[in-house]
Structure 1
């Protein structure tokens, strides 16, 4: 099983330490594509109109400036870089040792800059959204749609793909073929804040399971012990199962 998470808009970084080494990250086949996106982001962030190009307000100028330090800023585990509602609900710091090991293995963050990383990969804070039109690259949601498919398809293997992403991060990888038959999107009725919170709780519940469900219905059954769930089969070939989840 793999659990796909979105990155957070808010990110933090350690103040000291060695810079990131992309050759040590998960999914090494993505190294060339990552380097292209990083170079394009640094070039865009150095422009006088960087804020406009990246589609952010003046209040985020400091975050854009961090894009110029991707090669020199202290490397920080992705588990610490990504913060916010979903990651607060995930609560990695409060997991027992076995659950934390499963989290580091199962959870995959789909990133506009890096494509995909695991929580133990030591990255740096950055500012880039999947829907940004990045000069030289285009929209990361489209760029990574071409590069992630073979890598994540191979990584998914015969396991269930639990998709906790939303918005512009969904097009970055849409499972196809046999993997699509084991792909389930987690949807949460209500406001986006509650949706993020509940998806974080779902990811936490999955890594706490002593054994990993091998089918989508078994995954829904396991989660039904903690949440109110409703599972719908795909309405056509290549579409995901849909698991509506409500926190009890």
Structure 2
């Protein structure tokens, strides 16, 4: 199973890893696209006002332009540790044991607007770029990444893809047709068994799900395996419409 996560706008600063080495990242077929996006971000950073406009930064966020300016030589850390925010706080990868961290490295990848699809343990620097931004010299996130990431997934051919990305980041790399997959929506059960979508707890529930998968070193080869794992681990996971699964928060 391959679990796909969104990134987070908030990130830890610094790091102890060597500067970005594109050859170390998952999916080597994305290297040329990564180079183009990074070159465009660095070039954009030479004009802080324009960079703030393109990246849609407020006054208190303008310092993030400096992150992109030094992106190629900045220190790195594993992607799963770089990102913060509700989902990654719930996942809390830093407190997992070594076996669970190895599970993350093998089974979890994160969709970045700057680097495409990277493995959980791929070393990346801090940066600022959202899925919605269109960077001069590179283009919009969807135009830059969608075909390339989909093809990378097709070549990797995981036996099953569990897509926990937001819709904006799923658009940056749609799961190819014919690849067994499920897109997860977080819902709450109301009176009469009627479910409703959750927004506030959506990210937390996804982070907790991945933590439980990693902690149990789940061996999942398809939808039925995942439903069986969920039942054994007291996770309320139900079939949804078409390729969806519903993660029910109690």
* TM-score, length-scaled by structure 1: 0.90
Aligned to 1:113, the other structure's residue is in SS state: coil
Matched, 1:185 2:188: no
Give the Cα separation in 2 of the matches to 1:164 and 1:211: 16
Q: Structure 1: which 4+ aligned runs deviate by more than 4 Å?
A: none
Moved more, 110-119 or 206-215: 206-215
Residue 245 of structure 1 aligns with which residue? 247
Aligned to 1:64, the other structure's residue is in SS state: helix
- Aligned alpha-carbon RMSD (Å): 1.7
Aligned to 1:193, the other structure's residue is in SS state: coil
Give the Cα separation in 2 of the matches to 1:103 and 1:123: 16
Is contact 2:151-2:176 (8 Å) kept?
no
Give the Cα separation in 1 of the matches to 2:39 and 2:163: 29
Is contact 2:17-2:123 (8 Å) kept?
no
Shift of 1:62: 1.1
Change (3 A) 1:232 1:12: same
Change (3 A) 1:67 1:243: same
Shift of 1:13: 2.6
Shift of 1:164: 0.5
Residue 202 of structure 1 aligns with which residue? 209
Matched, 1:169 2:169: yes
Describe the superposition over 1:12-47 as per-residue Cα deviations: whole angstroms up to 9, x where unpaired.
132555322111222122111100011111122222
Is contact 1:2-1:156 (8 Å) kept?
no
Change (3 A) 1:40 1:197: same
Describe the superposition over 1:52-80 as per-residue Cα deviations: whole angstroms up to 9, x where unpaired.
11112111111121100111211222122
Is contact 1:78-1:118 (8 Å) kept?
yes
Is contact 1:85-1:193 (8 Å) kept?
no
- Aligned pair count reads 239
Is contact 1:187-1:244 (8 Å) kept?
yes
Residue 115 of structure 2 aligns with which residue? 114
Moved more, 100-109 or 43-52: 43-52
Aligned ranges 1:1-248 → 2 under 5 Å: 1-14=1-14, 18-47=18-47, 48-157=49-158, 159-179=159-179, 182-189=180-187, 190-224=197-231, 225-234=233-242, 241-248=243-250
